Amino acid sequence: MFPTKMSLLNAQKSSDSPSGPSSVSLQVSDASVKPELPFLFIADLHLAEKCPETVASFLGFLSGPARQARSVFILGDLFEYWAGDDDAGSAFNQTLCSAIQETVAAGTAIFFMVGNRDVLAGEGFARASGAQIINDATLLRIGERALLLSHGDALCTDDREYQAFRLQARDKKQQAMFLAQPLAIRKAFLNKARDQSETAKRDKRMEIMDVNADAVTNLLRANNYPTLVHGHTHRPARHTYLIDGHRCERYVLPDWHDRAVWLSFDGVEFTACSDCEGL
């Protein structure tokens, strides 16, 4: 029997987190017109005008597999960059937001969590697309199962330089200062920052850009040993752990290179689409 009940909670931060635990119910709704259909998870599409194949894959996903789903969870970095919600009306963003809107109108609830590239996507994006914004991390309860959803970059604690940048990029005051600048200047800045980050990544060891094992353990423990689903690292895999005697799983979503790739959950089992190597 497919579980029909679904709830979303803000996840507990691990005990070493300075901001402490939080557990607030989110005002989100699930289009339960299709309760027998699966939940789909995607991340790291990095949609950009310069990659029309990936855009086409996403549009095909929205008009195909997404409509055969109860809900779709986008776990960050949908966009290669998002300069601010006042850019939602650009031709490129409008095409994508309208396509998401149409899928929502067709009865699939779409949930969106920001990543590092689209950290500035907010209520304006939600209004334009019909997607519902969820926090990083969010605990999704489906029947008896608890899935912990995250973008994944917060777990890459070995990369201290990146974590310092992440704190800044998520600081509301810093965001307001950035958003006060003209859109054209913001876009130019983000383009340059992206190039610099690509260069910096080439100089970093692979290990420090992956998740830190203790960070994963702490987060799973703080949330009562759920199944973790995240993206960001572009290293699709299914990891299993034994933590305090509890068996936990961690699914890492693949990025999209000219093809649509997703993880599906039917309330009991996870299934990766056939193109998901490593899952």
Binding site for Mn ion (CB under 5 A): 77, 115-116, 232
Name the amino acid, one letter, at 181: Q
Q: To the nearest whole angstrom, how small is the minimum distance from the Cβ of residue 6 to Mn ion?
A: 26
Nearest residue to 152 via CA among 60, 261, 236: 236
Q: To the nearest whole angstrom, how small is the minimum distance from the Cβ of residue 115 to Mn ion?
A: 4
**Which of 30/77 has CB closer to Mn ion?**
77
**Which of 65/115 has CB closer to Mn ion?**
115
**Which of 186/232 has CB closer to Mn ion?**
232
Q: To the nearest whole angstrom, how small is the minimum distance from the Cβ of residue 118 to Mn ion?
A: 9
Q: To the nearest whole angstrom, how small is the minimum distance from the Cβ of residue 1 to Mn ion?
A: 36
Which position has the token pair 């990659």?
51
**Which of 109/211 has CB closer to Mn ion?**
211
Q: Quick check: 47 and 58 in contact, CB under 8 A?
A: yes
Q: To the nearest whole angstrom, how small is the minimum distance from the Cβ of residue 35 to Mn ion?
A: 31
Q: Is the peptide bond between 106 and the residue preceding it cis, with omega within 30 degrees of 0?
A: no
**Which of 116/132 has CB closer to Mn ion?**
116
Query: Helices marked H in the chain — which ranges?
Result: 52-63, 91-105, 123-129, 160-169, 172-179, 183-202, 213-222
Residues 6+ apart with CB under 8 A from 70: 30, 31, 32, 34, 35, 36, 37, 38, 39, 108, 109
Rounded Cα–Cα distance for residues 151 and 156 (Å): 11
**Which of 231/267 has CB closer to Mn ion?**
231
Q: To the nearest whole angstrom, how small is the minimum distance from the Cβ of residue 267 to Mn ion?
A: 28
